[in-house]
Amino acid sequence: MENKDLVQYIYGIADNALILGQRLSELCGHGPNLETDIALTNISLDLFGQTRSYFQYAAQLLGEDKTEDDVAFLRTERQYKNVLLVEQPNTNFAYTIARQFLFDVFHLSLLENLQNSSDATLNAIAKKSIKEVSYHLRFSGDWVKRLGDGTEISKQKIQEAVNALWRYTDELFHLTEADKVAVEGRIGVDTSQLKDAYYEKVEELLQEATLTIPEEKYFQKGGKQGVHTEHMGYLLADMQYMQRAYPNMKW
């Protein structure tokens, strides 16, 4: 597999961690109470840690003295390959939790497979990240249950969030060209194979949370090709501000 293809494959995984980490970091200082604030920030820190491992590897593959920060901050919107789900805003705590849960179930099964990658670096990152993501899933799954089987208000809010985000779940299982090359090279994971188990697991927990499984039939896609929702531009404007306003400086 050529370096440029491998880099594209890495973006497809790492950009999810970066963008979701960024979204969660926006909440630091604004959580429903201190304990939950601290917990969400821990998840954000885990995701940024993973991002850095992937991007340091990508930078090395790119050569030309590229750094993790070039990769993180200096691409244009179309060059980010995260799924649409993770860039959705923190509309309220229910959205934050639903987004986290719907991503965590996928993320964990992706990593469980990626730890068998023939690429030693990816395989090592996956092994380390699995422990973190298992905890994320435990946290988000528990909260889905609390909100679902909590009060009338919380049930309504989490149901609404799950319904609204459901249309972004199918994209998790689409294969890009980079994915296909990586799968052929035994480096990447064929995520299309993870789909049935994903919905089974998600639906099981939603039922336990006394929630209704959405019947959405129309799914959104595009993130993996760099065609994002309108939220993404603002997120990047914020995240890239310093690097864009003061180019070529060390911080």
State both tokens at 48: 């940024």
DSSP-H helix ranges across 80-119: 84-87, 93-114
> In angstroms, how far is the first alpha carbon of the chain from the final one?
34
Site string for another protein, 97-136 (x = CB under 8 A): ----------------------------------------
185 scored as a contact of another protein (CB under 8 A): no
CB-CB neighbours of 41 under 10 Å: 16
Between 93 and 106, name the residue whose CB sits nearer to another protein.
93
239 scored as a contact of another protein (CB under 8 A): yes
Distance CA 198, CA 230 (A): 27
CA angle 179, 182, 186 (to 5 degrees): 135
76 scored as a contact of another protein (CB under 8 A): no
Distance CA 222, CA 211 (A): 28
Between 62 and 175, name the residue whose CB sits nearer to another protein.
62
Tell me which residues in 20-49 interact with another protein (CB under 8 A): 22, 25-26, 28-39, 41-42, 44-45, 48-49
Among 138, 196, 204, 233, binds another protein (CB under 8 A): 138
Contact 113, 194 (CB under 8 A): yes
Q: Roughly what angle, to the nearest 10 degrees, separates helices 3-25 and 231-245?
A: 100
90 scored as a contact of another protein (CB under 8 A): no
Binding site for another protein (CB under 8 A): 22, 25-26, 28-39, 41-42, 44-45, 48-49, 51-52, 55, 68-69, 72-73, 92-93, 138-139, 142, 145-147, 149-151, 153-154, 157, 238-239, 241-243, 246, 249-251
